[in-house]
Amino acid sequence: MTETTSALPADDILAQALAWRKDGRKVALATVITTWGSAPRPAGSQLAIDETGRMVGSVSGGCVEGAVIQEALEIIESGKPKTLEFGVTNDEAWEVGLACGGKINVFVEKLD
Amino acid sequence: MKTALLEDLQKARAEKRQVVLATNLTSGEQKLLYPFESKEIYDVIEAARGALRNDKPTTVETEDGPVFLNIFNPPLRLFIVGAVHIAQALVPMAAGADYEVTVIDPRRSFGSSFRFPNVTLDDRWPDDAFADLHPDRRSAIVTLTHDAKLDDPALQYALRSDAFYIGALGSGRTHAKRQQRLQKAGFSDEDFARIHGPIGLDIGAKSPAEIAISIMAEITAVLRGKAGS
């Protein structure tokens, strides 16, 4: 079960990550580090994920969040940070109904 | 990220400091940088200064691999001294450009919420208001009253602050007189040079709205490091 609250500003995302951590949960942070073309979210955009897959924030407005969460759950266990690369083809963008067509790199790390 | 580092980051942001989170993308090592609180010069801190100035995160290549610089800028603020006609045009433009706007004018009939809906009005004297509101490196201050009794205390406070932009309405002649008064108050020519006057980019502005455009354009140019003057 996941929920999104992408309307929150960045500080609320970090505050939420911190609150989860203090609550004893395992947490991962994903950050957009580079974008090319018409990426939906700018560099610096963040997503916090807890061990149950609950998330706040957004790195792509919905395009790649599912994949980021899968990786984040692994990184929460391994503790090893990783840079993920996503190319959003125009066809895929059409499928999910977004005006994408860009490419993004997302850095995912565990909060420990 | 270490939880302790995140706590430090959140604290710095709450204190409205300009802070950068530097992450080595290979090793995952991280630290916080305060580029405007040090005079150090090296590649990463220079890039961090640029990123804060441009309000845009960036990645720099280093010997130890690529380092991502995520920026955390406090909100932009604009303090307008003088609830005059130009201010009425300037407020919505600045708000649209994501500034938190405060209009300061102790003269009640000027600074009424009827004339200025949807903006913070402060009816204290400018120096009292500034002592409380602490203009910082992310603040712009403009004086529009044409009245030395109001403009001068505001400018004196502005010159002692880190405000990134200070502008004063008035002709070249008014500005020269202003310089004499500020010199008497102990400010150097170098201090005075921080004041943009006559205010605004020279776009031939005539109406209050056009003057507001020229002011907003000049503030933007200075903020983004493209100031010509």
Distance in angstroms (rounded) separating the CA atoms of residues B107 and B44: 48
Same domain (yes/no): B199, B116: yes
Q: How far is B3 from chain A (nearest CA, A)?
A: 6
- Does B198 lie in the same domain as B184? yes
* Residue B5 in tokens: 């580092």
The count of other CB atoms within 10 Å of the CB of residue B74 is 18
pLDDT for the residue numbered B210? 97
pLDDT in the model for residue A4: 36
Contact across the interface for A107 and B25, Cβ inside 8 Å:
yes
Strand locations in chain B, DSSP E? Answer: 19-24, 30-33, 58-62, 65-72, 76-81, 99-104, 120-122, 139-143, 165-168, 195-196
Q: Of A12, A27, A29, A33, which to mutate for an interface test with B (greatest number of B Cβ within 10 Å)?
A: A33
**B167 shares a domain with B89:** yes
Q: Provide the residue range defining the domain that includes A16.
A: 10-111
Does residue B144 fall inside a structural domain? yes
Q: How many domains does one find in chain B?
A: 2
- CB contact (8 A) between residue A17 and residue B9: no
Alpha helices (runs of H) in B107-229, residue ranges in sequence order = 126-133, 148-160, 172-184, 189-192, 208-223
Q: What are the tens digits of pLDDT across the range A7-16?
A: 334 457 999 9
CATH code, domain with B146: 3.40.50.720
Give the integer Cα–Cα distance in Å for B140 and B218: 11
Q: What is the pLDDT along chain B (229 residues), one digit of tens a residue?
A: 999 999 999 999 988 899 999 999 999 999 999 999 988 888 999 999 999 988 899 999 999 999 999 999 988 999 999 999 999 999 999 999 989 999 999 998 888 888 898 899 999 999 999 999 999 989 999 999 999 999 999 999 999 999 999 999 999 999 999 999 999 999 999 999 999 999 999 999 999 999 999 999 999 999 988 875 4
Given B54, B72, B90, the domain boundary residue is B72
Residues of A in contact with B10 (CB under 8 A): 11, 14-15, 18
Assess whether B63 and B89 both reside in one domain.
no
Q: Contact B3/A18, CB-based, under 8 Å?
A: yes
Q: What is the ipTM of this complex?
A: 0.81
Q: Do B68 and B137 belong to one domain? A: no
How many domains, chain A? 1
Instruction: Note whether residue A5 is domain-resident.
Output: no
Q: Which of B84, B208, B204 is nearest to B146 (CA)?
A: B84
Please enumerate residues of B whose Cβ is less than 8 A from a Cβ of A: 1-3, 6-7, 9-10, 13, 23, 25, 28, 56-59, 68, 70-72
Q: Are residues B94 and B163 in the same domain?
A: yes
Task: Give pLDDT, residue B54.
Answer: 85
CA B37 – CA B13 distance, rounded (Å): 14
How many beta-carbon contacts under 8 Å exist across A and B? 50
Quick one: B55 and B101 in the same domain?
no
Residue B188 CA to residue B190 CA, distance in Å, equals 5
Please indicate whether, in this complex, the C-beta atoms of A43 and B58 are within 8 angstroms of each other: yes
Task: Answer whether residue B60 is part of any domain.
Answer: yes
Is residue B228 assigned to a domain?
A: no
The answer to whether the beta carbons of residues A53 and A29 sit under 8 Å apart is: no
pLDDT of residue B109: 85
Residue B92 CA, chain-centre distance (Å), reads 17
Phi, psi of B120 (to 5 degrees): -75, 120
Q: Which of A17, A33, A81 sits opposite B59 (nearest CB)?
A: A33
Within-domain flag for B64: yes
- The 8-class DSSP code of residue A85 comes to E
pLDDT classification of A64: cutoffs 50, 70, 90: confident
Q: What is the dihedral of CA B17, B218, B220, B157, to 10 degrees?
A: 20
Domain that holds residue B107: 76-223
Same domain, B104 and B195: yes
pLDDT of residue B118: 83
A97 pLDDT above the threshold of 50: no
Under an 8 Å CB criterion, which residues of A touch B? Answer: 10-11, 14-15, 17-18, 21, 29, 31, 33-34, 42-44, 80-81, 83, 107, 109-112
Q: Does the residue A74 lie in any domain?
A: yes
A86 has a pLDDT exceeding 90:
no
Is A97 within the bounds of a domain?
Answer: yes
Quick check: is B202 in a domain? yes
In terms of domains, do B46 and B97 share one?
no
Domain co-membership, B147 together with B160: yes
Mean pLDDT of chain A: 81
